[in-house]
Amino acid sequence: MPLRGEYAPGTAKSARRQAELYEASNGAEAGHIGGRPIVVLTSVGARTGKLRKTPLMRVERDGRYALVDSPDMTSRRPHWYHDVIANPSVELQDGAVRREYRAREVSGAERDAWWQLAVESFPAFARYQTRKPDPIPIAVLEPYDND
């Protein structure tokens, strides 16, 4: 069942515009950051209960996606990561394809395998990790069985 609720645009104007343009064009426009492909995550706000849309780097394997808690210059987690952990039912748009997924945080060897793929997909993740004392968290999206 698609996520329902009131959409609350984010405060970061460039990210908001990118997500909206990506969705409106089915990924034909605004589909890259630094030359690397993105996807758009729709999640439910942990505090507000409102729908949030976030462009994120595309890290995909076998129909599953990794959401990398790519940090800014602070030690805080991005709002979208809190949202996904609190409300793991999400939607993800990859190009023209939009599907529902369930998120779960990964650890250990599974996290390490996803981390390797994330760095291959977007090498800047490795640089981000050098700024953090702990491993950057990763949530994996697995599609709901829609059959």
The pLDDT value recorded for residue 145 is 75
The pLDDT value recorded for residue 13 is 92
> Residues 48-59: pLDDT tens digits?
999 999 999 999
Which residues of the chain, if any, have pLDDT below 70?
A: 1, 71-76, 146-147
Report how far residue 102's alpha carbon sits from residue 42's, in angstroms, rounded to the nearest whole number.
12
The pLDDT value recorded for residue 42 is 97
Q: Which phi and psi (to 5°) does residue 53 adopt? A: -125, 130
Report the CATH fold assignment for 13-143: Pnp Oxidase; Chain A (2.30.110)
> Domain-by-domain residue ranges, the chain?
13-143
The pLDDT value recorded for residue 11 is 83
> Residues 14-43: pLDDT tens digits?
999 999 999 999 999 999 988 999 999 999
